[in-house]
A and B are shown apart, each in its own frame.
Chain A
Amino acid sequence: MSAEVKSSSERNIRARFSPAGILGKPFRGLILVSRKYGAEWWIMIAGALIVSFMIIVAVFPAVFAPYGPLDQEAGGQLMPPQPGYPFGTDNLHRDVLSRVIFGARTILGVAFAAAILSSAIGIPLGLLSGFVGGILDRILSLIMDSVYSFPGLILAIAFAAMLGPGVVNITLAVAVIYIPTYFRMVRGQTLSIREEVYVEAARAIGARRWVILLQYIFPNVIASVVVIFSINIADAILTEAALSYIGLGLPAGIPDWGMDLSMGKKFLPSGTWWMITFPGAAISLLALGFTMLGEGLAEILNPRLLER
């Protein structure tokens, strides 16, 4: 399409490739949309595809997995990848593919639960701190900054070691290290929105402070939180895998990628590469997916946020 436009009728034709036009012509529409949005759109789409795929697999593992994750009679021992066992088998005769599939559920469950917990604590505290200010703000900020300045993994290890093994404890350990992230973002946004004219206008119509916080400030803060959530999950996935790799994770009965990694490491020198490679690739892919989703979303939402 030439960039030289000579008359308004030509411009009108171009304008017809609006969202309405796109719906009727999918491929043409996708190409035009990608021109408008560029790389970040594709990144987000790719991330969304990876994530959706993984989630479906995690929710319906039986559909995809040929064997159970704990089935120690799936096949021979330490068989390399071959027809019937695309990812090979491990030292306990378990099918690696099935372990990877069932492991997805575990890791996604922990990561989501941790992210939800983090945000449920971090967001309200951030709102309160930013809105009320004063001594409460000082104390909370001090606590949050201290936690934030700690290397996340070390803190998680410390918590996991303190709490002991178990799904709930792992979730708690992972959740704690992300609370400051939500807190800081929400507090910052609250501080700036607090100065907006519409907040003063809300006071002028007689709204009490709680009403202002919940109905005027919170809805305007929440948009930027969505992006953090996705990246948070990516980080949580890596942290959870790291914890179980070290051995601070879940009990043996639960299929877990991190644990598979640490087990597979032992067999690597003898040439058994498939026990560690596939779970490792799965971790990387899933974390990448969520990161791409979050970053892509951030780029796309950013101009809209700036527009405001």
Chain B
Amino acid sequence: MSKEALFSVRSLVKEFPVQKNLIDLLLAGRKRSVVHAVDDISFDIYKGEVLGLAGESGSGKSTTGRLLLRLIEPTDGIIEYRGRNLTAISSREMETLRAKLQIVFQDPNSSLSPRMSIGRAIGHPLRIHRMGNSGQRKDRVLELMEKIGLTPADFLYRKYPHQVSGGQAQRIVLARALVTGPEFIVADEPIAMADVSVRALILELMKQLKGEFDLTYLFITHDLATAKYLCDRIAIMYLGRIVEIGSRDELFSRPHHPYTQALLEAVPVPDPVQRRTEEMVHGEIPSAINPPAGCHFHPRCPHAMPRCSEGRPPLTEIAPRHFSACVLDS
């Protein structure tokens, strides 16, 4: 894992306007309501690493993944890829960059057009980026299919997505993401919809592909156990903000932010001997339209202090390369 930063994200913001009906408008006036999906976050992604972006629903992790690839336009902030500011380039230029920056979505079946054969679907990025002639493209697709375990490749080439299993569908999506030789892949909950045993297969496959193709991953997940297995560094997000970020070993052995601690406590362990003994943190994730003031987590935090509701706590380095947005002493 090198120190070269592939991505540099600074002060990234994304706000979604909220549709209001007539009553709300009359009562609340003309003030626009927004969902603060991503609320001023900054982080780096280093070449060759797997950075985990973990959080529950409403944390903004999926939105962040899409913002990084400009599938959604940021409201504010800078996204630098190899020194180039992605937010400033034209959409044409961005489209060319997509050969290098790819994404894998959560549900493989809905990521594939039901009317496009598997071979065509995988090969389509090659056509879009004008790589090779049709013969060379087909060869590349078949070769990739073999490598990724979609065999017999000739047979599956002509099949359609609904004719294969969920595990194979995810492989198809991975193959499509890899066919142009990218160096970076955003994996947005790639195993959430797969069966338990298939998850292991996909995780192992992703590990193998990373080594073979020298990839960098942004691994978005709600499951910390999976994050621990695959990721080198992990960022924990809560309600649009990064509350903690650090290496895997640091984070899991010395979690600092109370939310991180609660998350780690809550993850069910497949071992009856290690049942949870502590009482769980109460409450649920508040609304992203009107989040609590100051630190978003303070209403649920067992260590909350008066100053937690005043002003947003900054991400501070509490240990080498381990940052936490909590004012508690470590």
Interface set of A (CB-CB < 8 Å, partner B): 196-198, 200-208, 211, 215-216, 219-220, 307-308
Name the one of A203, A205, A211, A219 contacting B115, with C-beta atoms under 8 angstroms: A219
Whether the Cβ atoms of B114 and A220 lie closer than 8 Å is yes
Among residues of B, the one whose C-beta sits closest to the C-beta of A203 is: B71
**CB pairs A–B below 8 angstroms (26 shown):** A196-B110, A197-B105, A197-B110, A197-B111, A198-B112, A200-B71, A201-B103, A201-B111, A201-B173, A201-B176, A203-B71, A204-B102, A205-B125, A206-B96, A206-B99, A207-B128, A208-B128, A211-B128, A215-B116, A216-B113, A216-B116, A220-B113, A220-B114, A220-B115, A307-B162, A308-B162
What 1/0 flags go to B136-167 for Cβ under 8 Å of A? 00000000000000000000000000100000
Interface set of B (CB-CB < 8 Å, partner A): 69, 71, 95-96, 98-99, 102-103, 105, 107, 110-116, 124-125, 128-129, 162, 173, 176, 180
Whether the Cβ atoms of A206 and B162 lie closer than 8 Å is no
Rounded to whole Å, the gap between the CB of B288 and the closest CB of chain A is: 21
Whether the Cβ atoms of A201 and B105 lie closer than 8 Å is yes
Q: Chain B contacts of A208 at CB under 8 A?
A: 95, 128
Compute how far the CA of A214 lies from the CA of B179 in the bound complex, rounded to whole angstroms: 22
Name the one of B107, B110, B124 contacting A205, with C-beta atoms under 8 angstroms: B124
Among residues of A, the one whose C-beta sits closest to the C-beta of B161 is: A198
Whether the Cβ atoms of B114 and A205 lie closer than 8 Å is no
A205 and B111 in contact, given A200-B71, A216-B116 (Cβ under 8 angstroms): no
Compute how far the CA of A202 lies from the CA of B95 in the bound complex, rounded to whole angstroms: 11
Compute how far the CA of A308 lies from the CA of B115 in the bound complex, rounded to whole angstroms: 11
Name the one of B95, B96, B112, B180 contacting A201, with C-beta atoms under 8 angstroms: B112
Whether the Cβ atoms of B116 and A219 lie closer than 8 Å is yes
Q: Chain B contacts of A219 at CB under 8 A?
A: 113, 115-116
Compute how far the CA of A219 lies from the CA of B99 in the bound complex, rounded to whole angstroms: 25
A206 and B112 in contact, given A197-B105, A200-B71, A201-B105 (Cβ under 8 angstroms): no
Compute how far the CA of A81 lies from the CA of B129 in the bound complex, rounded to whole angstroms: 71
Whether the Cβ atoms of B112 and A204 lie closer than 8 Å is no
Q: Chain B contacts of A198 at CB under 8 A?
A: 110-113
Compute how far the CA of A200 lies from the CA of B98 in the bound complex, rounded to whole angstroms: 13
Rounded to whole Å, the gap between the CB of B215 and the closest CB of chain A is: 16
Compute how far the CA of A202 lies from the CA of B71 in the bound complex, rounded to whole angstroms: 11
7 cross-chain pairs, A with B, having the tightest CB-CB distances, nearest first: A206-B98, A219-B115, A197-B110, A205-B125, A206-B95, A201-B111, A198-B113
